[in-house]
Amino acid sequence: IKPLIILPDPILRQVSTPVETIDADIRRLADDMLETMYDAPGIGLAAIQIGVPRRLLVLDVSKEGEEKTPLVFINPKIVKSSEERSVYEEGCLSIPDYYAEVERPAAIAVEYLDRDGKQQSVEADGLLATCLQHEIDHLNGVLFIDYISKLKRDMVIRKFTKAAKTRGAKAI
Ligand SMILES: O=C(O)C[C@@H](Cc1ccccc1)[C@H](O)SCc1ccccc1
Ligand SMILES: [Zn+2]
């Protein structure tokens, strides 16, 4: 289980670089990310959220009590987005306990490499489409609070900046 990077850490704003070779190290990183995600608990996690600026994300949108379906997306690319849009109340493991409604394309097509380095493509809608777009945003240094009003975003950043100071103080 790896420590999560929390707002306002500037690492979250980095653009992650493509994965060159899919080897045992990348597969171990993906497994570490899945373990960290399940522990949070969350339904998605991008490598940057544990401080690794690589274009790799994991997700599992299976429901409670259902068979787990962990998915690994390497160098994902959105190749199609529907005109139709949907709204979800989103959260983020890097912005704990803050939720806001975000509107995104309702359906997308994504091309990516799987954990064996095999080229894959998937058509997604519903929560999978929302989660995939949320995670791919992370790979580009974009956070879901970038879709809310500037007023609200500045309030959230101010709140987390203050908390970071007190957290730092406590550490001392
Ligand atoms: O990337 C993350 O921080 C994990 C996100 C993924 C996510 C955000 C919004 C909508 C869907 C997925 C979540 O914090 S995981 C926690 C969670 C679980 C169910 C629904 C919403 C958020
Ligand atoms: Zn997030």
Q: How far is the CA of 71 from the centre of ligand 2 (A)?
A: 16
94 within ligand 1 shell (Cβ under 6 A): yes
Stronger pLDDT, 35 or 172, i.e. the higher one: 35
ipTM of the complex: 0.91
**Residues 85-115 pLDDT 10s:** 999 999 999 999 999 999 999 999 999 999 9
**Residues 109-151 pLDDT 10s:** 999 999 999 999 999 999 999 999 999 999 999 999 999 999 9
Categorize the per-residue pLDDT at 169 as very low, low, confident or very high, splitting at 50, 70 and 90.
low
Residue 95 alpha carbon, nearest atom of ligand 1: 3
Choose the residue to mutate in 49, 66, 90 for probing ligand 1, maximizing ligand atoms within 8 Å of C-beta. Answer: 90
Stronger pLDDT, 172 or 46, i.e. the higher one: 46
pTM above 0.90, yes or no: yes
Cα separation, 143 vs 149, whole angstroms: 13
DSSP calls for 89-154:
EE--TTSTT--EEEEEESEEEEEEE-TTS-EEEEEEEHHHHHHHHHHHHHHTT--GGGGS-HHHHH
Which ligand minimizes its atom distance to the CA of 57? Answer: 1
Q: How far is the CA of 59 from the centre of ligand 1 (A)?
A: 9
Catalytic residues: 135
SS (H, E, C) 34-63: HHHHHHCCCCEEEHHHHCCCECEEEECCCC
- As given in the structure block, the two tokens for residue 171 are 């550490």
CB 30 within 8 A of CB 56: yes
- pLDDT of 12 strictly over 70: yes
Q: What angle do CA 102, 151, 144 make, to 5 degrees?
A: 25
Cα separation, 72 vs 56, whole angstroms: 7
